[in-house]
Amino acid sequence: MQRFILGKKNKIALIGAILIVIGFTGGLGFKNEVVAVWSFAIASVLGVLPIAIQAYQALRVKVVSIDVLVTIAVIGAFLIKNLEESAIVTFLFLFGAYLEQRTLNKTRSAIKELTEMAPESALKLMENGEFEEVEVDEVDVGDILLVKTGAKIPVDGTVLSGEGHINEASITGESVMVSKEKGLSVYAGTILENGTLQIVADRVGEDTTFGKIIELVEEAQDSKSEAERFIDRFSKYYTPAVLVLAIIVWLISRDIELAITILVLGCPGALVIGIPVSNVAGIGNGARHGVLFKGSEVISDFSKVDTIVFDKTGTLTIGNPKVVDKEFYVDRAEEVIAYLASVENESDHPLANAIVEHIGDTKLYPVENTDVVKGGGIIASVDGHRIAIGNVALMKREKVYLSEKARADIARFEERGNSLVLTAVDGELKILMGIRDQIRPGVKEVLQKLKRLGVKNLVVLSGDNQGTVDLVARELRLTEAHGNMLPQDKSAYIEELKEKGHIVAFVGDGVNDSPSLALAQIGIAMGSGTDVAIETSDVVLINSDFSRLPHALGLTKATASNMRQNIFIAVGVVLILLASVFFSEWMNMSIGMLVHEGSILLVILNGMRLLRYRLRK
């Protein structure tokens, strides 16, 4: 029965409105008091039923909710035969709840839009060699799929054949066409605007980038910030306090109508809903613009950031380094190059990939006894020789002699901003390579925007040599630059910044960034980074779109400001209403409820402004 009545709340509100119109028409228009009294009485009884049920459910869990205050106020007004006001209060409360739900649903439109974008079917290559349409849940990793013009990409995958242009708005927030061809990655939920592609499924279902976006946004919208938890605790004690105040007023004044009016006016509805609606709208805006906030708490902390620390490779730079300089300290280098390629071919480090790509096809030897030296390089046995490949620190550890020429070459390479890779065979230096990465396009402009948004310190930390890091810092006008840093050094530096009172955000994309991402107040992961980095972070920039960082920071500041505005509106309205009870003649239950519902709608509409937020140019 309770469920039935609560399910008909909107219809009850409509019936209440009709009865109130009949009551006023009968009483004022036709001077028929019987029709007026019965209309208002039935409207009051019907209207209070769903409110009383919600009040009962709240009291069962020992919570004095807004519904409890309104139920007591309506019953009190009914008992003193103030039927007109009791009917109007119940209608306004139910109608206000209906409007609140309608407008709140709009603030959750981002997650609704995302789920509607999710692909439902795929054309899968079957054993008979034909492509057949199947449910997307039936696609497994390794399956080959056909995507035609206008269709949604069903999974994260790699293009096997074909060419086309894809709209990646569901991932990046920008409706910019991205060209795809063999070997390039595609993402679930994006749309093939033209062309035909065959792809192999790499990640399916909830493991796709799109699936993770939906999961993270849902979790974030259901989370609560410290401010929300404070308001929950506050309302837990505030609402009973209003009830006690009404009782005290009644005991002193013996004016039951005054006490009932206080119950209605003191309802903290706008205060309770103002902060959640701001957070939900902010998270929704971020999701639609390629930024994932993992919860409301993140928004509050991010808005206060004064220091942003960046990893260099893959964050400030593209993360696709190339060999640009090299020196040989051996007459015939072919064999040493083959040793170098053999060892680096077994590594997935960006510098190793650059070396393998530069060397190209060559003879490869079996590699044995591989030892990865953290922050140094690799030591291995190849064809009976001890091969050491890494930085200068590794050479010192291996007691490799560096001649004057080698030292001069190292200094020269560092001045050019190169990362150094030295190769030693049996303790003798044979090859020096300089590898350089390119700074991401538009990074300098992004950093300037961050400064304008109030970030005082922009710092780069890297395991690369100091010369390379300094070169990047000079070009990007960073506040500080620190090279030759191991993961533990980065973490220690962030801890030091926090101890000095800075609110620190760390931006990175690799496994070795995970400790720093976790330690900083705000960890920001590039979306194409490792799963570990993304899981550890608080904010994810989808598709590694660095240009989204200012939007993310600006949005958190706008959201924090919006929350303060809503608190001011909610508290201000309650204070004005309570003051008007004691210092004016015009305030009554009906007017109070009307203003109360109006304040709730005002904070909701104010919060919804965040859905349209864009960073000013």
Nearest alpha-carbon partner for 458 in 397, 506, 421: 506
Residue 401 has a CB neighbour count (10 Å cut-off) of: 10
DSSP, res 127: T
Phi, psi of 219 (to 5 degrees): -65, -40
Extract the tokens encoding 136: 């997307």
Where b means 16+ CB within 10 Å and e means fewer, 498-535 reads: eeeebbbbbbbbbebbbbbbbbbbbbbbbbbbbeebbe
**3-state secondary structure labels for all residues of 473-508:** HHHHCCCEEECCCCHHHHHHHHHHHHHCCCCEEEEE
Phi, psi of 6 (to 5 degrees): -65, -30
| Planar angle of CA 94, 98, 103, nearest 5 degrees | 145
* Residue carrying structure tokens 């700074």: 439
Its sign, for the CA torsion 271, 272, 278, 279, is positive
Annotated active-site residue 255? The verdict is: no
Extract the tokens encoding 11: 């219809």
Extract the tokens encoding 274: 């103002």
Its sign, for the CA torsion 280, 286, 287, 291, is negative
Q: Tell the burial category of 332 from Cβ atoms under 10 Å away from its Cβ (0-12, 13-18, 19+).
A: exposed
Taking each helix axis as running N to C, give the angle between helix 350-359 and helix 334-344, from 0 to 180 degrees, rounded to the nearest 10: 140
Using CA atoms, how far residue 19 sits from 13, 36, 46, 62, 90, in Å, is 10, 9, 10, 34, 12
| Planar angle of CA 117, 549, 495, nearest 5 degrees | 125
Please, are residues 581 and 541 in contact by the beta-carbon 8 Å criterion?
no
Residues in the chain: 617
DSSP state letters, 339-362: HHHHHHTT---HHHHHHHHHH-S-
Phi, psi of 318 (to 5 degrees): -65, -30
Residue 435 to residue 390: CA distance in whole angstroms: 12
Taking each helix axis as running N to C, give the angle between helix 109-117 and helix 269-288, from 0 to 180 degrees, rounded to the nearest 10: 30
Residue 150 to residue 163: CA distance in whole angstroms: 14
Residue 216 to residue 540: CA distance in whole angstroms: 10
Please, are residues 552 and 542 in contact by the beta-carbon 8 Å criterion?
no
Please, are residues 212 and 206 in contact by the beta-carbon 8 Å criterion?
yes
Catalytic residue among 311, 470, 513, 545: 311
Residues ≥6 apart with Cβ < 8 Å to 580: 586, 587
Intra-chain end-to-end CA distance of the chain, in Å:
56
Residues with a known catalytic role: 311
